Structure 1
Amino acid sequence: MPQPKLFHISEQPGISIFNPRPSPSHFDNITGDVVFAISEELLHNYLLPRDCPRVTFYAGPNTTNADKQKFMGNTSASHIVIVESGWYKRIKQTTLYCYEFAPDDFMLIDECAGYYVSYKPAMPIAITVIDDIMAALLNRGIELRFTPSLTEIADAVKESTLQFSLIRMRKAKTEL
């Protein structure tokens, strides 16, 4: 099985080493400080400003046809990313830095989200500057949607059979 390509997205340029830190979220299988990485397949989930709340989803092997039709029926994209309309200007103005890691010291902790962790410091093997986030997302073949509020779609996706990630939702608007 080929090793995955792994990445870390940051708004900070010039990071030469990523040192393990406490996980910002609880995972039962993390037992210390870690460096997080994301798989290439789900990199699009992180091609946004760090604090930008988002709902991301795709059809998995257990997704029902009804949920595919309800959430993805009118698209040929395999993955959907939804953000709040109020983030449009910030998305257009933000530059991101995509750091690639050698996968050797990383282990998969969440296949649905594409999360990998390493307990060792990680040095980037390549860095790509992303100065047009919208183009980077759309070039990955995903569908990018904007909505005034993520609350209703997040609740609906949580109750579905889709594979999903709800990212930075504590920053989302709670009402219109």
Structure 2
Amino acid sequence: MRPEPGQVLHFSEDPTITRFVPHVAATAQQAEAYVWAVDADRSPDYWFPRQCPRAMAWTTDRTADADRERIIGPGGGERVHAIEYAWLDRVRTVELYAYRLPAQHFSPFGTPELHAMVATVPVEPLAPPEPVGDLLALHEEAGIQLRVLPNLWAFWDAVIESSLGFSGIRLRHAQPKGER
């Protein structure tokens, strides 16, 4: 599930949204109000239940071969996502929807690497939301490893110290360090 040219996506478990209005999220690190969406490259970051903690890593042109081998592994493609066992049933059963939004209202957000698209004006979807479907199958079709771990923190620590690109979302919901 990725946007078509001229579109960005917003993923939600709520299929009833008819208008996205800029807001400041409770966990925001900036004071500006935004409507949040993602482009095609970052869409896989959101193939999860909203509150699911996930650690993600991918190769870049700066990735060292040793880091790729150590974290992604042989024959593992270019990207790996990790979740905890506690979330596996929810990943299997969540009803996730994708809203297609007009890209012209959005600007890139994130430094040093783009990680989202934001709009500062209300935005209406281009069509009703689309069910995303089987999230495990979506990962498989995209060639993205999906690892299920007892605890994300050892993986996350290895990823952030590597030369891979990475993103961690909702990590505050992960098991505490050292717990299984």
Partner-residue secondary structure (3-state), 2:48: coil
Partner-residue secondary structure (3-state), 1:139: helix
- Distance, in Å, in 2 between the alignment partners of 1:25 and 1:71 is 30
Partner-residue secondary structure (3-state), 2:15: coil
TM-score of the pair, normalised by structure 2? 0.88
Ranges of 4+ aligned residues in structure 1 off by more than 4 Å: none
- Distance, in Å, in 1 between the alignment partners of 2:62 and 2:33 is 33
Partner-residue secondary structure (3-state), 2:105: coil
How far is 1:38 from its partner? 0.9
Q: Is the 8 A contact 2:53 2:171 kept in 1?
A: yes
Trace 1:78-157 onto structure 2 (pairs within 5 A).
78-110=78-110, 112=113, 114-126=115-127, 127-157=129-159
- Distance, in Å, in 1 between the alignment partners of 2:114 and 2:147 is 19
Structure 2 residue identity aligned to 1:98: A
Change (3 A) 1:71 1:141: same
What percentage of residue pairs aligned between the two structures are identical?
A: 30
Partner-residue secondary structure (3-state), 1:104: helix
Query: What residue ranges of structure 2 are gaps of 5+ in the alignment?
Result: none
Which range moves more in the overlay, 3-12 or 87-96?
3-12
- Distance, in Å, in 1 between the alignment partners of 2:86 and 2:136 is 15
- The residue aligned with 2:29 is 26
- Number of equivalences: 172
Partner-residue secondary structure (3-state), 2:91: helix
- For the aligned residue pairs, the C-alpha RMSD in angstroms reads 1.9
Structure 2 residue identity aligned to 1:58: W
- Distance, in Å, in 2 between the alignment partners of 1:4 and 1:64 is 34
- The residue aligned with 2:169 is 167
How far is 1:92 from its partner? 1.2
- Distance, in Å, in 2 between the alignment partners of 1:141 and 1:4 is 24
How far is 1:21 from its partner? 0.6
How far is 1:75 from its partner? 2.9
How far is 1:76 from its partner? 4.0
- The residue aligned with 1:7 is 9
- Distance, in Å, in 2 between the alignment partners of 1:148 and 1:165 is 19
How far is 1:3 from its partner? 5.8
Query: What residue ranges of structure 1 are gaps of 5+ in the alignment?
Result: none
- The residue aligned with 1:35 is 35
TM-score of the pair, normalised by structure 1? 0.90
- The residue aligned with 2:55 is 55
Change (3 A) 1:115 1:7: same
